[in-house]
Amino acid sequence: MPPTVKNEGYRTADEMADRQRVISVSEFFLKNRHLLGFDSGAKALVTTVKEAVDNALDACEEAGILPDIRVEVFDEEDGEFRVAVEDNGPGIVENQITRIFGKLLYGSKFHKLSQSRGQQGMGISAAGMYAQLTTGKPLHIISRVRGDKLATEMFVSIDTAKNRPELHKKAHLKWNRTHGTRVEANLEGHYQKGPHSIDMYLKQTAIANPHVRIDFTDPRGGHVRYDRSSRALPPRPQEIKPHPRGVELGRLIQMLGSTNSRTLLQFLEHEFSRVGRKTAQEIVRVAALRLSERSHPRHIAHAQASALYRAIRKVPVSAPRTDCLAPIGEALMEDGLRKEIDADFFAAVTRPPAVYRGNPFQVEVAIAYGTPGGVGLEVDAGGHIHKTGARKRAAGAEIALSADEPAYLLRFANRVPLLYEQGGCAVTKAAIQTHWRTYGLQQPKRGLPVAPLAIVVHLASVWVPFASEAKEAIAPYPEIVKELKLGLQACGRKLSEYLHRTQRLKREYDKRSHIEQYLPHVGIALQEILGLSDAERDATVVRLDDVLNKKRKV
Amino acid sequence: MPPTVKNEGYRTADEMADRQRVISVSEFFLKNRHLLGFDSGAKALVTTVKEAVDNALDACEEAGILPDIRVEVFDEEDGEFRVAVEDNGPGIVENQITRIFGKLLYGSKFHKLSQSRGQQGMGISAAGMYAQLTTGKPLHIISRVRGDKLATEMFVSIDTAKNRPELHKKAHLKWNRTHGTRVEANLEGHYQKGPHSIDMYLKQTAIANPHVRIDFTDPRGGHVRYDRSSRALPPRPQEIKPHPRGVELGRLIQMLGSTNSRTLLQFLEHEFSRVGRKTAQEIVRVAALRLSERSHPRHIAHAQASALYRAIRKVPVSAPRTDCLAPIGEALMEDGLRKEIDADFFAAVTRPPAVYRGNPFQVEVAIAYGTPGGVGLEVDAGGHIHKTGARKRAAGAEIALSADEPAYLLRFANRVPLLYEQGGCAVTKAAIQTHWRTYGLQQPKRGLPVAPLAIVVHLASVWVPFASEAKEAIAPYPEIVKELKLGLQACGRKLSEYLHRTQRLKREYDKRSHIEQYLPHVGIALQEILGLSDAERDATVVRLDDVLNKKRKV
């Protein structure tokens, strides 16, 4: 006999209370792993490489080291791959290794305001968690800090129920690097080429990071080197304090409660960026409401904090500092593109810094345009017009421009390529909203321009608002979309000038070709009329050619 | 003199180690609040109402109570709103209140496999966190459990640095409800009407939940009631165990390590859905590799677990149970639509259950089609064709159909309306990929059909893979998109039949109108020829009309 079903499965408040549980952040993301970029085997491989390389680059730059990165992917059969990423960075202090690789939400970049690739303290541990889920194998880490005799080797996984690292094995060993870190992950995956590939991620990383050298060995044994084109490290971004205009009332109340400052004036001066003595005094004066400069921050009531909040909005405060940002720069943007994309025309624009929610950010845009047909025209110093030679094939994944396809969009956030979720990205939104017809290109409604064009967009910010934890698209905050459009328009105007000039050049080239065909006949006619010697005739033809080319300025 | 800058800000491995910190999950989501649906004031209001109402409905249904929900939004001036949601649910046991409202990742629904609206244990605490951030005010909760003399009142906020609740005030008070919960949040927001409004969320909730009554008072003093059209609670979804085919190798290893079963055979039978004694024996036999039915699960090595994992993939296992799902059903889907949308034709399809990653799910699709011009044609029992009357205006937010606009898409996941991120949703993808031209509608390339059509899609699952924590779009898993398309196609075929029939009806109606015009003249002619009385003539005309209508079947 079946047991009596109590209330058809209905529950009382007490029974519901018994079922309440704490959910660990690891369990949450394990179940929602598509949020972290692990929704397919192909994407899992790319995301794992990306998280490891991003960490390596951040560490090298923070330590002032020109990054040399080695990426290897091995096919272990039955759908299992081993991904290894090795750097020449500063290494990781031994007691930090387990937490950095075996705990979600642990890191050095979340609590500060300055530009870095990582910001969440999740990426590499998430890759480890996915590896563990699909193959049951822990991460294998080797790291050596400069000055240490031996390297530390560890095998680390995550106890997902508690979001805590588990150390399986630890050893000290000799390593041929004096400093650096190597991490290996065994995971289920699928290796592929194309626009969503490790190859493409590395190629685009090389474009946005001309100071980086990357060696990649793919699971089919192929090897590519992306060499550095610059030996200058990007300027080290400075950390800043929050700008008062970006702080919400609730956060202000929290800051008042936890500050070490003993007077309101000190609090305003010490905890915020761009608030000096005078501005602080003015804020307190405008807030009024029984507040004084000497009020103790911890004794400020809700209504007073509200008044302070409104005062901060009224009193003029200088725009945030921008040395927290490290844009790539117009010259390097353009160089990076020239190195990796075959095209005829290049242009780059770095916009002045702007602010969203108190966070400084900066937009950079570069474009590469390839004349349909594959060769363009150029003018030499003597005013002669030549066809340019067939373009060389660049290393690694190919970014091919086509006159019949939508422009190739390359998106970067803090120098990291974004390969997925193009449709949901602020960059795509801005590129679609830009009127490319104005600049001489075709553009379908609600689409990217159709042209042999690559558009590179870089957003540098102390806090990039990503549309998901997988950091594949930038959330379309209005202030950001506006700046992106201004950058795109500036490049569009340069492209428009080039296209006009190319058209003129084309017409001129055709005319000159025509004249050049007849010049020898003109020479012979002149020889007959003026009785010139053969040498005189030839010299006249050369001079005529020269004069014609010089006079017809292009 | 400025202080010497050490290494231009570069850091050693030791200095980097000192900067590593644990990041609390609350801090993470506070900084990334757009991930939880709090990226604008308008959205923050909708999300807050949504999270509170979803919880109220889940609690009522779990307790077997027909839900009566009251939603009030008050304008507190200066951009501040107070949102109150009150239910007649079972109430919350006092010692659970602080954690349910003041801690992210705490709940009863994450660790089980059965259909519910909430699944993350984040929503209402996130709303509280946003309220606290923007106004500095805690959540205000009143709750009474049936049988308790007094209700409990609490003011709760979150200590975001620790993801822990803070209780500001607690009291016991008389309350006119015998059981239920009321939650109030003060937050910065922006109240608006339209497709992304509280009004639309509530209207769509009423469509997908015909057993629910909702009273809504908006901040402008307007009041709408969405009354229930059914007094039957949805069947209570059962909890299931994981299906063996949906379990990854790493998870299998974890389960082996933590099970209470003492033999492998027991383990397979007890921990999985659809594995009986025979299937379990077969799995062990296929796995071979020195495993026996009596092997202790905790002593199984990695290679053996791998073999077990492969065996599970080879041995046939029945499809997952589906009593964990509570679809709305074709009849109620159609009723819900009829009640809220003015249209002429309605159809609904509930697909059989399917599976993605071991998770059962079920797709339902309903459509409403309004004849352009606003009135249609219908045939009565006697075969007469009539014009239908002008359609009534439904309560609350309007879902207007237009012949010149893309179809209105209503998306639901576990009976919850999804209002945002339509572009990134599996439902939209499936609707765009459906060939609506086949069914007689216009459809632009890569777009929704252009027709006076509402398309309602419901996905019921034990675990809905949302594209972000804000639960606004369903991630496009291929298995899900496929099922969605099959459901849309089934409704498309029904629509196609209706459209053909309507066209025939229209032609027939025109013909009959023509005949009816001449019938009196035929009567007079017959009267003259046959010498009928006036009464005989009129009776003949009536019979003629009748015969003509009946013979011309439509």
State which amino acid sits at residue B350.
T
Burial B15-54 (b: 16+ CB within 10 A, else e): bbbeebbebbbbbbbbbbbbbbbbbbbbbbbbbbbbbbbb
Closest in A22, A99, A105 to B106, CB measured: A22
Q: Which of B:62-121 have CB within 8 Å of A?
A: 62-64, 90-93, 95-96, 99-100, 103, 105-108, 110-112, 120-121
Q: What band does A289 get if pLDDT is binned at 50, 70 and 90?
A: low
Which two three-digit tokens encode residue B357?
């990653």
Q: Which of B:284-343 have CB within 8 Å of A?
A: 302, 305-306
Which two three-digit tokens encode residue B332?
């109620």
Q: Which of A66, A93, A300, A425 would you mutate first to test chain B, the one with the most B CBs within 10 A?
A: A93
- The Cα–Cα gap between B15 and A345 comes to 45
Contact (CB<8Å) B13/A90: yes
- The Cα–Cα gap between B452 and B403 comes to 4
Assess contact for B219 and B75: CB atoms under 8 A.
yes
Tokens 């045939």 sit on residue: B379
- Nearest 5°: the CA angle A482, A485, A488 is 155
Q: Which of B28, B65, B163 would you mutate first to test chain A, the one with the most A CBs within 10 A?
A: B28
Q: Which of B:236-265 have CB within 8 Å of A?
A: 236, 238, 248-254
Contacts of B33 in chain A (CB under 8 A): none
Assess contact for B16 and A143: CB atoms under 8 A.
no
Q: Which of B133, B247, B304, B466 would you mutate first to test chain A, the one with the most A CBs within 10 A?
A: B133
Task: Of A103, A139, A112, give the one whose Cα is nearest residue A58.
Answer: A112
Q: What is the distance in angstroms between the Cα of A423 and the nearest Cα belonging to chain B? A: 8
Contact (CB<8Å) A136/B7: no
Q: How many helices (H) and strands (E) does chain A have?
A: 14, 18
Transcribe A238-257 into DSSP letters.
PPBPPPGGG--HHHHHHHHH
Which fold, B25-226? Heat Shock Protein 90 (3.30.565)
Report the chain A residue with the minimal C-alpha distance to residue B108: A20
Please state the three-class secondary structure of B260-306 as a single string: CCCCHHHHHHHHCCCCCHHHHHHHHHHHCCCCCCCCCHHHCCHHHHH
Closest in B17, B423, B424 to A93, CB measured: B17
**Residue B270 CA to its chain's centroid (Å):** 32
- The Cα–Cα gap between A139 and A128 comes to 6
Which two three-digit tokens encode residue A452?
């042999």
Greatest C-alpha distance within chain B: 127
Contact (CB<8Å) A8/B423: no
Q: Is B391 exposed, middle or buried (0-12, 13-18, 19+ CB in 10 A)?
A: middle
**E-only strand ranges, B44-163:** 68-75, 80-87, 106-107, 139-144, 151-159
Tell me the pLDDT tens digit for each residue of A382-425.
Answer: 677 777 655 555 667 788 888 889 999 999 999 999 999 998 89
Contact (CB<8Å) A145/B7: no
Closest in A24, A253, A423 to B136, CB measured: A253
Contacts of A477 in chain B (CB under 8 A): 39
Q: Which of A:457-486 have CB within 8 Å of B?
A: 463, 465-469, 475, 477
- Identify the architecture of domain B244-314 in CATH: Orthogonal Bundle (1.10)
- The Cα–Cα gap between B331 and B339 comes to 12
What predicted TM-score, i.e. pTM, was given to this entire model?
A: 0.87
- B14 DSSP 8-state letter: H
Tokens 């964990």 sit on residue: B324
Task: Of B301, B225, B317, give the one whose Cα is nearest residue B269.
Answer: B317
Closest in B7, B21, B136 to A64, CB measured: B7
- The Cα–Cα gap between A472 and A46 comes to 12
Count of residues in chain B: 554
Assess contact for A395 and A225: CB atoms under 8 A.
yes
Q: Which of A:400-459 have CB within 8 Å of B?
A: 421, 423-424
**Class of CATH domain A330-500:** alpha beta
Contact (CB<8Å) A28/B110: yes
Look at residue A379 and tell me whether its pLDDT is greater than 90: no
Q: What is the distance in angstroms between the Cα of A12 and the nearest Cα belonging to chain B? A: 6
Q: CB under 8 Å to A287, separation ≥6 — which residues?
A: A304, A307, A308, A310, A311
- The Cα–Cα gap between B277 and B271 comes to 12
- The Cα–Cα gap between A454 and A335 comes to 14
Which two three-digit tokens encode residue A70?
């080695």
Contacts of B255 in chain A (CB under 8 A): none
Assess contact for A206 and A224: CB atoms under 8 A.
no
- B116 DSSP 8-state letter: -
Q: What is the distance in angstroms between the Cα of B17 and the nearest Cα belonging to chain A? A: 6
Contacts of B190 in chain A (CB under 8 A): none
Closest in B11, B179, B463 to A62, CB measured: B11
Contacts of A146 in chain B (CB under 8 A): 12-13
- Residue B494 φ/ψ, nearest 5 degrees: -65, -40
- Nearest 5°: the CA angle B18, B20, B26 is 140
State which amino acid sits at residue B164.
R
Contacts of B32 in chain A (CB under 8 A): 465-466, 469
* pLDDT of res. A245: 86
Burial A331-354 (b: 16+ CB within 10 A, else e): ebbbbbbbebbbbbbbbbbbbebb
> Taking the CB of residue B387, how many other CB atoms lie within 10 A of it?
10
Contact (CB<8Å) B106/A20: yes
* pLDDT of res. A61: 95
Q: What is the CA radius of gyration of chain A?
A: 30
Contacts of A236 in chain B (CB under 8 A): 8-10
* pLDDT of res. A1: 38
ipTM of the complex: 0.85
Contacts of B96 in chain A (CB under 8 A): 17, 20
* pLDDT of res. B554: 53
Q: Which of B:146-185 have CB within 8 Å of A?
A: 146, 160, 179
- The Cα–Cα gap between B210 and B57 comes to 12
Transcribe B200-253 into DSSP letters.
HHHHHHHHH-TT-EEEEE-TTS-EEEE--S--PPPPPPPPBPPPGGG--HHHHH
- The Cα–Cα gap between A276 and A266 comes to 10
Q: Which helix (H) or strand (E) holds A492?
A: helix A478-530
Q: Would you call B28 an interface residue with chain A, using a CB distance cutoff of 8 Å?
A: yes
- Residue A417 φ/ψ, nearest 5 degrees: -65, 140
- A5 DSSP 8-state letter: P
Q: What is the distance in angstroms between the Cα of A25 and the nearest Cα belonging to chain B? A: 7
Q: Which of A5, A26, A30, A108 would you mutate first to test chain B, the one with the most B CBs within 10 A?
A: A108
Assess contact for A329 and A378: CB atoms under 8 A.
no
Look at residue A205 and tell me whether its pLDDT is greater than 80: yes
> Taking the CB of residue A5, how many other CB atoms lie within 10 A of it?
9
- The Cα–Cα gap between B398 and B342 comes to 10
Which two three-digit tokens encode residue A111?
């609590």
Look at residue A554 and tell me whether its pLDDT is greater than 70: no
* pLDDT of res. B314: 92
Residues of chain B with pLDDT under 70: 1-8, 289-291, 371-377, 382, 388-395, 548-554
Antiparallel, parallel or unpaired: β A453-461 and B180-188: unpaired
Contacts of B236 in chain A (CB under 8 A): 8-10
Q: Which helix (H) or strand (E) holds A54?
A: helix A41-62
- The Cα–Cα gap between A106 and B244 comes to 33
Q: Which of B108, B129, B479 would you mutate first to test chain A, the one with the most A CBs within 10 A?
A: B108
Contacts of A188 in chain B (CB under 8 A): 248-249
- Residue A198 φ/ψ, nearest 5 degrees: -60, -45
* pLDDT of res. B392: 57
For chain A, what is the mean pLDDT?
89
Q: CB under 8 Å to B113, separation ≥6 — which residues?
A: B239, B240, B241, B242, B324, B359, B462, B463
Closest in A19, A112, A468 to B35, CB measured: A468
Contacts of B169 in chain A (CB under 8 A): none
The SS3 call for residue B309 is helix
- The Cα–Cα gap between B167 and B157 comes to 7
Assess contact for A241 and A271: CB atoms under 8 A.
yes
Which is more confidently placed, B186 or A247? B186
Contact (CB<8Å) A136/B250: yes
Tell me the pLDDT tens digit for each residue of B424-459.
Answer: 899 999 999 999 999 999 998 888 999 999 999 999
Antiparallel, parallel or unpaired: β B68-75 and B213-217: parallel
B347-352 long-range Cβ contacts below 8 angstroms, 24+ apart = B347/B491, B347/B494, B347/B495, B347/B498, B348/B456, B348/B491, B349/B487, B349/B490, B349/B491, B349/B494, B351/B483, B351/B486, B351/B487, B351/B490
* pLDDT of res. A390: 53
- Residue B82 φ/ψ, nearest 5 degrees: -110, 125
Contact (CB<8Å) A20/B111: no
Please state the three-class secondary structure of B477-524 as a single string: CHHHHHHHHHHHHHHHHHHHHHHHHHHHHHHHHHHHHHHHHHHHHHHH
Q: What band does A5 get if pLDDT is binned at 50, 70 and 90?
A: very low
Q: Which helix (H) or strand (E) holds A94?
A: helix A94-102
Instruction: State the average pLDDT over residues A182-200.
Output: 95
- A450 DSSP 8-state letter: B
- What crossing angle do the helices spanning B123-135 and A249-258 adopt, rounded to 10°? 80
Contacts of A22 in chain B (CB under 8 A): 103, 105-106
Report the chain B residue with the minimal C-alpha distance to residue A92: B13
Q: Which of B6, B8, B22 would you mutate first to test chain A, the one with the most A CBs within 10 A?
A: B22
Q: Is A529 exposed, middle or buried (0-12, 13-18, 19+ CB in 10 A)?
A: exposed
